[in-house]
Structure 1
Amino acid sequence: MELHGLFFLLFLFTIAGEPVCANVRDRRLKKLTTQANGEFRPTKLFVFGDSYSDTGNNPKRLASSWKTPYGVTFPGKPAGRYSDGRVLTDYVARFMGIKSPLAYQWRKYGQKRLQYGVNFAYGGTGVFDTGNLEPNMTTQIGFLQGLIKEGVYTKRDLESSLALVTVSGNDYSAYISSGGPRQDLPSFMSHVVNQMGINLKVIHDMGVRKVLVSSLQPIGCLPQQTVFSSYQQCNETENAASYYHNQMLQQVVTELNNATKDCSFLILDLFSSFTTVLKNKGDYTGSLKFDTPLKPCCMPTSSDVYCGSRDENGKALYTVCNEPESAFFWDSVHPSQAGWRAVYLTLRSSLNRIYS
């Protein structure tokens, strides 16, 4: 994910109404899913989105996620994750008590793993096309529809599943990079969020019981922005963009829940969790500490290269910190494994909502 110079004033946005979260129970569905204390317990995870949840879908020949030093912490070598180790998907799967779902491109080589679901997320993608080769969210949803038509998953499978949807700003990066008028950016953001709502409804209408969608992280706190302050402070004007997006997303989710008369759609609040961890310089338990949380572990030696770049002689054009576990960010936009773990620990109590 890349995000360049999203500077504009905060636009006020008011949310009307509260989500309707009726305690509706489908007796037939209860019999079909694993239960604990009478609660819905998903056994499969279907993932749609970008590099915050991708576990290996991008082509090896193109993606930095398949180059050293990515994967140095887990599994010890590059494995397609945009981090030194585990990413958000892995921690949501851990919370569910299942193995992390297989990346879609490897589905034919790990069919036993399909029992845990599939990860359709591709680093660099967005709700719409972002100028990359990666499939957008609508196309990713189409991949699941294809597997259903092939008989890989049944209605029963979908009814016992959770969907995770992540969006971390690639649509806005592409808009700015393509020369989109800044004065029209709020309108474009509304367009993005409205399409997200359509996609979320399609996933639910396919039979997926619960749909978990991430809010936009505080983009002004990403190292690609904090580098201008020597990694000392976030850009609050940039964070206003995240706030605006998230307010619109909350309204869309509220409307979807009102329509279903149930809490079928839930927001995973990455904005608040990132903010909390960065402010505390660690997780709330004190088990993880980040002395300079805005500074990435893997740093390019110049502005025109990236983490994982090498020159024609194979010399690394980046440096890596001695202890990745002491860094919240791995590279210019992605958390480290320790960073994602801290975020997960902050979110863990709210994840219980998926069982309602």
Structure 2
Amino acid sequence: MALKPTLAALLFSLAAIHGIVVVAVDAAAAAVSRGGSARRIPAVFAFGDSTLDAGNNNRLVTAVRADHPPYGQDFPGGAPTGRFCDGKIMSDFLVEALGVKGLLPAYHSGSEVLSDADAATGVSFASGGSGLDDRTATNAGVATMASQIADFSELVGRMGAGKAGEVVNKSLFLVSAGTNDMIMNYYLLPSKYTLDQYHALLIGKLRSYIQSLYNLGARRLLVAGLPPVGCLPVQMTLAALRQPPRPQGCIAEQNAEAEKYNAKLRKMLTKFQSTSPGAKAVYADIYTPLTDMVDHPQKYGFAETGKGCCGTGLLEMGPLCTDLMPTCTTPAQFMFWDSVHPTQATYKAVADHFLRTNMLQFDD
């Protein structure tokens, strides 16, 4: 079915790097990050948006899809899978580093039937364009966070009580959501909320989803806040459309608002941990490493951080990033693949950061 994408629909493919929640019942990643041997994590389950979507949107009637070239050109086999990237995404690098398996597949890929054995070692339920606010997902025609968690509950039922007890309680859970809500609702559409009110709504929703995972057995949570939203190429382009010319650097106001949200998130996590027996809720700072990539690109081998590799790199994403568009010859030297989504080089650096730092806090 041919879709006629609008600017709003295209922008719903935003799955900018943002809040990553890791729920772990094992400190294995800490040992991995130190190069030591770790008790094996049996499975990894991912929830959220396109930063973790491995192809769940392929089955949906939505413009927010990446199951076409040039997406996937650097993925093993060189074919698009539905990942919003030139190659692997962060969850793929994490499962490989933790020794679980080589890639984290989509629960609803639409192209192949997921075996019970593969599902038992982890899958992604994430849906590109989703967010903490249900309106973000429904307006984009993608899966809400609640429906993703419902899919996980269904999978637990398929496993059976015995198998689920062995797997779920020792698994690693990843959740990434929040940036689409800010960009697609607060910054793009008329809102009845003040900034503080919308932050409160999002953090309240996030706490509810964390509680749902806790009720399903999750006990150790690693929760990252928003990224430097004002550094996304598409945000700088939209700023230029409102008031030319295009900013030479990141949008300072949006970055400051992301930091404000992150401070509120840290307080929520502290309270959640104090009222949830057995839970450990750790805030993961994703804002700082991504800002460091922008400020010191040479450290990461980047030559370009202000635009994506696909097309002009200023607005292309999802259905606008096609094989009719030229792409850069060296994606590994670009921080962004399209105007929103990182390259696999960026995802690899972010995954390494989490393994080196945040997972260590579960060693206490």
Please give the TM-score of this superposition, normalised by the length of structure 2.
0.78
Alpha-carbon distance in structure 2 between the residues aligned to 1:308 and 1:3:
11
Map residues 292-307 of structure 1 onto 2, 5 A cutoff: 292-300=304-312, 306=317
Q: Give 5+ residue unaligned stretches, structure 2.
A: 1-9, 14-24
Aligned residue among 123, 128, 134 for 2:128: 123
Residues 35 and 172 of structure 1, relative CA distance in 2, 3 Å threshold: closer
- Quick check: 1:249 aligned with 2:254? no
Deviation at 1:38, TM superposition (A): 11
Distance in 2, Cα, partners of 1:50 & 1:274: 18
User: 1:214·1:269 contact (CA, 8 Å) conserved in 2?
Assistant: yes
Show the counterpart of 1:195.
205
Post-superposition offset of 1:244: 1.8
Aligned to 1:14: none
| Residue 330 of structure 1, CA deviation | 0.7
The match for 2:106 among 84, 103, 110 is 103
Higher relative contact order (CA 8 A, sep 6+): 2
Q: Quote the offset at 1:338 in angstroms.
A: 0.8
Letter in 1 for 2:256: A
Contact 2:335/2:343, CA 8 A, preserved across alignment: yes
Give the Å deviation of 1:337: 0.5
Deviates more, 1:143-152 or 1:194-203: 143-152
Q: CA deviation at 1:49?
A: 0.4
CA–CA separation in structure 2 for the residues paired with 1:241 and 1:59 = 33
Moved more, 119-128 or 227-236: 227-236
Do the aligned partners of 1:167 and 1:214 also contact (CA within 8 Å) in 2?
A: no
Alignment check: 8 A CA contact 2:107 2:114 kept: no
Does the aligned pair in 2 maintain the 1:215–1:268 contact within 8 Å?
A: yes
Of the candidates 211, 220, 224, which is equivalent to residue 221 of structure 2? Answer: 211
Considering fraction of residues, name the structure with more helix: 2
Question: How has the CA–CA distance of structure 1 residues 146 and 355 changed in structure 2, closer, same or farther, with 3 Å as cutoff?
Answer: farther
Aligned to 1:163: 173
Please give the alpha-carbon distance, in whole angstroms, between the structure 1 residues aligned to 2:280 and 2:212: 12
Of the three residues 83, 88, 91, the one matched with 2:90 is 88
Distance 2:354 2:263 in 1: 19
Partners of 2:350 and 2:58 in 1: CA distance = 28
1:38-77 counterparts in 2 under 5 A? 41-59=40-58, 62=62, 63-75=64-76, 76-77=78-79
| Superposed displacement of residue 35, structure 1 | 12
Tell me, in whole angstroms, the C-alpha distance in 2 between the residues paired with 1:353 and 1:104.
29
Deviation at 1:144, TM superposition (A): 1.0
Deviation string for 1:41-68 (max 9, x for gaps)? 5321111100111111102564441111
Tell me the amino acid that sits aligned with residue 133 of structure 2.
F
Question: For this pair of structures, how many residues does the alignment match?
Answer: 320
- Which residue of 2 is the match for residue 135 of structure 1? 143
Larger Rg: 1
Query: Percentage identity across aligned positions?
Result: 26
Mapping for residues 303-322 of structure 1, pairs under 5 Å? 306=317, 308-309=319-320, 316=324, 318-322=325-329
Q: Which runs of 5+ in 1 are unaligned?
A: 5-28
